[in-house]
Amino acid sequence: MFSFLGLVAVLTGLVGAIALTIQAWRYAAGRPTSLVNPTRVLLGGAIGAMLVLEAAIVANDFTVRYVADHHSRTTPFPFNIATGWAALEGSIVLWGMVLAIYSWVVYRRFRTAPTRLGAGALAVMGLVAVFFFGVMATIANPFETCVEAAVRSCARSSPWPFVTAAAPADGFGPNALLQNHILMAVHPPVLYLGYIGLTVPFAYGISALALGLPGVEWLEASKRSTTLAWSFLTLGIVLGSWWAYEVLSWGGWWAWDPVENASFMPWLVATAFLHSSHVQLRRGMLQSWNFVLVISAFSLTILGTFLTRSGTIISVHSFTQSAIGPALLGFLALVVAGSFALFAWRAPQVAQPSRLESLSSREGAFLLNNLLLTVYAIVVLIGTVYPILLEAFTGDRVSVGAPFFDTLTAPLSYALLLAVGVGPVMPWRLASPEMVWKRIHGPLQVGLVAGAVTVVAWSRIGWVVAVVTASTFLVAVIVRHAWVQARHAARLKASSTPAELRRLFARDPGYWGGQLSHVGVAMVALGIAFASNLATHTEVDMVPGDTVRFAGYELTYTSPFLERFPNKEVQGVRVEVAKDGRLLRLLEPKLNVFANSSSAIGTPAVYSRPGGDLYLTLTGIGPDSVSLRLDASPLQWMLWLGGIVTAAGGVVSYRGRARRPQTKELARV
């Protein structure tokens, strides 16, 4: 039954996507027609497919191949729900549902203010949906019926739902790594909300190019969606990094894994687009560049999906190999070639006579910001794709590791911190050196003092001191800028400065939300600098009763333990953490052996304090002794909090951005 209902839902979504593409383009071409039914059909089919898949999982219906291959009766909540997007076919269903939701949001805006531009954007989104629902209906069908059962999986299946089904008694279950932490249930959906949300500005940009409607209308229409998608993408990356830190037992949070990079690249380009679009909206500049950025950002999301789900690379994220790889690669080639061909065709129309009056201006600071972000993205792209291309064309295997990325991105990151600090205080058009110096000399002094304190109290490592100085300068610039404006208003109105600060933030939450994101970036930079350069590591062998001193703590191994659950067996040890003879915490690093995996999956024990994290990893356990790896990372919490603050700033900016009224066209929608 679930196979039939799921196939019907997928085909319904495909029909809705095709109808939306055709009818929306007819509207954009000047033949108004109703778009409500195609959008509803697309949304209904997409949500229906996700609900049917989840229902089949919860009902343990192993006649559905996806359920037999990726779920088991012992998979606990919420990991049974997360199984719906833990593998290739389910992740495509999630992609289709999120895309349909965004399409509905765009339609709601279109219904309020119908324009040819909005209709064209819906046509582009419908076309993207046609590809993904077409994939679901063919080479990545999550609702195939199992016709030959294996021991704990499906040996052979059929796309036809009315064949005689054969179900295994139990399924294989999700990958062990995907049922070991609650963030698995949160990280992928949040990341997809960001990834797929970038389809909205791409759709508006392509619509503007196709219809020959350059200008700021497409930016006005998509700026809130872009900000929201960027916020979700930021949060998704942070949660993924946190998940790796808590689950992979290596004490790190970023390994320049190709799929980590695949989410980071569109974030970099989307960040550049957010800044450059502001320049176009304010000063009418960088229009051509904005089209290039929005096309690149969407193209990188398709590249990320290809890297994650094609099996082309070996990664902790790449759990499947499928025929979807060539399909995604072909779609990526079509998107890149078609979009840039359209851009080239419209180049004479989108080229603008406006020129930068001075590099010493806010426009100049934004341009520098864009240059640094773009170079950053190119560096990450080369390091990620080069090994794949080399192997594809020559058969040689090479790896591009952390030293390559760290060497090239560290100076770029530092330069970005300085650019972000200076940019907000620069006036538009032209800034005199005297004015700039007046606005930054105080924050610069604060930053230098912070750097000096770091040298005395913590570290003389160059990058740590540099990042502390730059991050403190960035935050001080923002605080000074807000304080000076509020104090000036308080003097004029005979009011209090705190009251004027509240009014200042309320008057322009879009701007101050952006500044909050900048504060979050500074916090992330501080967390990375301290945890990367000042972390300490050691390995110890202990027997019950042993005590070792590490990072100012006394660690006492008390006893081992063994726990059995329906889906796994857990071996662990209990370690008492004390400081100056006072017991602080009992930590339990573990090794988990899941029913569908012969190798143990480690779960580290993490003790977080304001000064940093104590991180214990159980690397081996014997009858008389255990082996532990000990890590201490100062200010690790600042990385997670900074990422959340960065995303929160985007949400504040999203809520505060007033949408410019659009000219309504007479139409039946």
Residue 58: pLDDT over 80: yes
Residue 315: pLDDT over 50: no
DSSP result, 602-662: EE-EEEEETTEEEEEEEEEE-SS-EEEEEEEEETHHHHHHHHHHHHHHHHHHHHH-PPPP-
Joined together, the tokens standing for residue 79 give 């990991």
Q: In angstroms, how far is the first alpha carbon of the chain from the final one?
A: 36
Peptide bond preceding 411 in cis form (omega within 30 of 0): no
Q: What is the mean pLDDT of residues 204-227?
A: 93
Q: How many residues does this entry show for the chain?
A: 669
According to the model, what pLDDT value does residue 53 have?
97
484-516: string of b/e by CB count within 10 Å (b at 16+)?
eebeebbeeeeeebeebbeebbeeebbbbbbbb
Q: Strand pairing partners for 628?
A: 540, 618
SS3 content of the chain, % helix, strand, coil (to 5): 65, 15, 25
According to the model, what pLDDT value does residue 150 have?
87
CB-CB neighbours of 564 under 10 Å: 8
Residue 636 identity (one-letter amino acid):
Q
According to the model, what pLDDT value does residue 661 have?
41
pLDDT in tens, 68-80: 999 999 888 888 9
Q: What is the mean pLDDT of residues 306-330?
A: 67
- Rounded CA-CA distance 377/296 in Å is 10
- Residue 425 in 3-state DSSP? helix
According to the model, what pLDDT value does residue 297 have?
97
- Which of 10-14, 38-42, 433-437 has the least mean pLDDT? 433-437
According to the model, what pLDDT value does residue 428 have?
75
Q: Angle at CA 198, nearest 5°, toward 103 and 651?
A: 95
8 A C-beta contact, residue 72 and residue 567: yes
pLDDT in tens, 26-38: 999 989 899 999 9
8 A C-beta contact, residue 669 and residue 35: yes
CB-CB neighbours of 112 under 10 Å: 13
- Rounded CA-CA distance 510/513 in Å is 5
Q: CA Rg, the chain, in Å?
A: 27
- Rounded CA-CA distance 644/236 in Å is 10
Residue 665: pLDDT over 60: no
Indicate left, alpha or beta for 249 from its phi (over 0: left) and psi (-120 to 50: alpha): left
- Rounded CA-CA distance 231/643 in Å is 10
- Rounded CA-CA distance 382/388 in Å is 10
Joined together, the tokens standing for residue 268 give 């970099």
